[in-house]
Chains A and B, each alone.
Chain A
């Protein structure tokens, strides 16, 4: 058997796991590992400019590819800087392994230089974590970390590595385990067959069903299966923010995103539904509005791999714990058999009248059937920016986003037809996510169009990564929807705080010249102020194939995102449709 140092073991283990990029930043506690990387490592290392960006880049790489992301940071501040990114991945169930350096074992607990209890600090935001005590435990621990991160409900796993166990002079036998079995960790592999039968007969009997699909469909690589299932029963489909792309955005059966900024037809259909079929969604508070008024006439079938997601906020009538893929496959088979053997079980009349009703809602208030924003101000509207982006990229780009109004506009107006194309921080809502996320996606798919939809607030939270983009020549397109204000904060202040814009417009006069800023990093900056120029400039940005383009689009600062559910006190169907009209 081969003898390797701890540092070499780390590198070898990552190679054996098929890691494609190490997103990291060196420092004292990981110097031995970095030396091993220098001496012999087949995996390219991506040096970010802040550890938070390393986690977002690795996370987005995972979202876009389906493979786990890998982060390497040092102890203390390196580790704590990674925390926001780990929490982001945790909230959205993204498979990621974070290797953090730790001070030497004998110094742990002595408040040593750059010491932080990373296991303790990260505990509530990881799927699991390991503090490795001895070099010979490194291979098995890394194997376990990847196994846990990628199976069941995925999530981030932290492996804390004290410096001394990676010392180059202390070598131990190395063998990478081929498989791993853990007696205390056995994620579900199949749904309960009785529950599945019950769910299918309820779906066949339903008169006003809605398929409510979340990020689990994408994480479980079940988009095609879900689409086939929805088509088989001609059931209307709504997606959560995390689920967009899990069902084709341009499909006739797609009724848009639901929830706080969901479409009128999706939220209204949910409210009037008699059966909600929840697939890989978790009834998040941004999608339910007030739970006591939630969908009063609906029975609920809920498939999820994680039993804790079921009946957490909304009680499920038929819970099914299992991987979406196997459960949906089993269900689809039963549906097909039933439709063949006893076609009369499917109530065509009820289905027709349900669609007639939904189409009426869609025609009256849908975002895509007529313009729902007014253009009187003469300024570019943020919605128009997304529409232009959609047109230029033919709906086929990878779109990352930051957090705020621009994120909601992108979710509403960019109609994602494929899974893993929409990359955003849904659960945690992390500003500063978009740019490093775009880096991770662009590295994974160098030939694809990658756009980062952001705002002048969010982009400044990780703007240092423009330097990383120069370093690795990452020609992403930054679409900066610049309204000179923290738009979503301002919107809430307009609606609920009498228009008192506490801090939301404070930086108006101190914003940088983004064109010059982009140029200072060696990129192309383009400013757009007139609607007539928008499409041309957007096309120009994407025609510069090998350059990062920072498109700074000045938009109407007074625009709000609509529809907007009437928060906390309302039901699903209670929405503001614009500044003056409500349901």
Chain B
């Protein structure tokens, strides 16, 4: 099953490489990873998605917790949560396609953020599934480039991951 693990990390040089290294070293899989400093510049917030059975996920969270740079973590998929991913996608857009692509973008509540004579660059936010669906709707032949941020997420309600 897919899990979203959210980590509060010391914003120190080398901290990220320890997290990433742990996954390759122990044969775990990272599907996506996103990291940036928080409102407290000494802390970074890292969100990663990974797949594995319950036992593997338990080992992953235990090993992450064991890293000296990791302050706290939470498996967001254990409870209600919000997840978002941002995608920029550049597609061929000529002739009648241009209107069709624009319509499709509107349906997905995306925005065309750059326009060229034969291309559109579209920005879309949402869950990974929604982004996958949009990619599919564009069709392989039309897609020139895709860049995705990876998942970010927060728990629903009062729950907070902080010091």
Interface residues in chain A, defined as those with a beta carbon under 8 Å from any beta carbon in chain B: 119-120, 123-124, 127-129, 131, 148, 182-185, 306-308, 311-312, 315
User: In the complex, A183 Cα to B69 Cα: how many Å?
Assistant: 9
Are B66 and A307 interface neighbours, CB within 8 A? yes
User: In the complex, A315 Cα to B69 Cα: how many Å?
Assistant: 28
Interface residues in chain B, defined as those with a beta carbon under 8 Å from any beta carbon in chain A: 10, 13-14, 17-18, 21, 25, 55, 58-59, 62-63, 65-66, 68-71, 163
A-B contact pairs, 7 of them (CB 8 A): A123-B14, A131-B13, A148-B68, A184-B69, A307-B62, A307-B65, A308-B62
| A129: B residues at CB distance < 8 A | 14
| B65: A residues at CB distance < 8 A | 307
* Closest Cβ–Cβ distance, residue B117 to chain A (whole Å): 42
* Closest Cβ–Cβ distance, residue B60 to chain A (whole Å): 10
Are A123 and B18 interface neighbours, CB within 8 A? yes
User: In the complex, A262 Cα to B68 Cα: how many Å?
Assistant: 36
* Closest Cβ–Cβ distance, residue B161 to chain A (whole Å): 13
Q: Given A183-B71, A183-B163, A184-B10: A308 and B66 within 8 A (CB)?
A: yes
Are B163 and A123 interface neighbours, CB within 8 A? no
Instruction: Write the chain B residue with the least CB distance to A307.
Output: B62
Count of A-B contacts judged by CB separation below 8 Å: 35
Chain B CB within 10 Å — which of A129, A131, A308 has the most?
Answer: A308
Please name 20 further chain A to chain B contacts, defined as beta carbons within 8 Å, in addition to the given A124-B25, A183-B163, A307-B66, sorted by A numbering: A119-B14, A123-B14, A123-B21, A124-B21, A127-B68, A128-B68, A129-B14, A131-B13, A131-B14, A148-B68, A182-B68, A183-B71, A185-B68, A306-B66, A307-B65, A308-B59, A308-B63, A308-B66, A311-B55, A312-B59
User: In the complex, A185 Cα to B13 Cα: how many Å?
Assistant: 17
Instruction: Write the chain B residue with the least CB distance to A182.
Output: B68
* Closest Cβ–Cβ distance, residue B57 to chain A (whole Å): 12
User: In the complex, A176 Cα to B66 Cα: how many Å?
Assistant: 27
Instruction: Write the chain B residue with the least CB distance to A312.
Output: B59
User: In the complex, A307 Cα to B58 Cα: how many Å?
Assistant: 10
Instruction: Write the chain A residue with the least CB distance to B8.
Output: A184
Are B14 and A184 interface neighbours, CB within 8 A? no
* Closest Cβ–Cβ distance, residue A102 to chain B (whole Å): 13
Q: What are the 10 A-B residue pairs with the smallest beta carbon separation, nearest first?
A: A184-B71, A128-B68, A308-B62, A124-B25, A307-B62, A185-B68, A123-B21, A308-B63, A308-B66, A184-B10
Are B68 and A184 interface neighbours, CB within 8 A? yes
User: In the complex, A59 Cα to B14 Cα: how many Å?
Assistant: 26
Instruction: Write the chain B residue with the least CB distance to A185.
Output: B68
| A127: B residues at CB distance < 8 A | 68
* Closest Cβ–Cβ distance, residue B158 to chain A (whole Å): 22
| A120: B residues at CB distance < 8 A | 17
Instruction: Write the chain B residue with the least CB distance to A127.
Output: B68
| B25: A residues at CB distance < 8 A | 124
User: In the complex, A123 Cα to B10 Cα: how many Å?
Assistant: 17
Instruction: Write the chain A residue with the least CB distance to B65.
Output: A307
Chain B CB within 10 Å — which of A119, A120, A307, A311 has the most?
Answer: A307
User: In the complex, A128 Cα to B15 Cα: how many Å?
Assistant: 10
User: In the complex, A183 Cα to B62 Cα: how many Å?
Assistant: 17
Are A184 and B70 interface neighbours, CB within 8 A? yes
| A185: B residues at CB distance < 8 A | 68
User: In the complex, A327 Cα to B65 Cα: how many Å?
Assistant: 22
| B17: A residues at CB distance < 8 A | 120, 123
Instruction: Write the chain B residue with the least CB distance to A120.
Output: B17
User: In the complex, A131 Cα to B14 Cα: how many Å?
Assistant: 9
User: In the complex, A311 Cα to B63 Cα: how many Å?
Assistant: 12
